[in-house]
Amino acid sequence: MLQTLRELRESDSAAYFRWINDPELVRLNANYAPTSFSQHQGWFSSIGNRSDLKIFTIQDESEQPVGSCSLRNIDYIHRSAELQIRIGEDSARGKGLGSRAVRDLLDFGFKDLHLNRIFLHVFASNARARRVYEKTGFTTEGVLREAYFIAGEWEDSILMAMLRKDYQKKQATP
């Protein structure tokens, strides 16, 4: 069976640089601003040293990088973290890799990091991402109305989360 997530490799840097400079892709969850290669390299070389961030590369069946996902803002006292995912390659979208990556990241967060709560923010207009999160068991906790101004338009942000007890219940259900 394919291991969907793997540790970040130096060879992934070029793909990550390409994805962060794709305006349409970035606008799915943030304002777009071009990133220089030196800015990217500084970020890429520093992320391995952060205790509040666990980042993984999503790979396809040929083990090529197609996206990234992470647990960020990890709070080891309150045992919570924010989930973020990006499928960077057009050819990898709509094939279930995002759902598998989210499930794998939930496993890591709840089993390895012993988190109690994993949450995320998703734009209301990002229907594909919302379906993935709902399918993998996230619950909507609220809506931040017109929270972000993206490409000249206001975006509502939906706050979703999964608790350890919800995760365990989902694991127990066949």
Decide if 95 contacts 67 (C-beta within 8 A).
Answer: no
pTM of this structure: 0.92
Between CA 97 and CA 99, with CA 98 as vertex, the angle to 5 degrees is 90
Q: Which two tokens stand for residue 172?
A: 């127990």
pLDDT of 1 reads 41
- In the set 76, 133, 148, 167, the catalytic residue is 133
pLDDT in tens, 6-36: 999 999 999 999 999 998 888 888 888 899 9
> pLDDT value at position 163?
98
Highest-confidence segment of 29-33, 71-75, 148-152, 168-172: 71-75
Span 128-152, pLDDT tens digits: 999 999 999 999 999 999 999 998 9
H helix or E strand, kind and range, residue 140: strand 139-150
CB count within 10 Å of CB 84 equals 19
Site of tokens 């979703």: 160
What does the pLDDT read at residue 94? Answer: 83
Task: Please indicate whether residue 133 is annotated as part of the active site.
Answer: yes
What structural domains does the chain harbor?
5-172 (3.40.630.30)
pLDDT, tens digit (0-9, with 9 covering 90-100), for 103-118: 999 999 999 999 999 9
- C-alpha angle 12-36-45 in degrees, rounded to nearest 5: 45
Percent of the chain with pLDDT over 70: 98
As a whole number, mean pLDDT of residues 29-56 equals 92
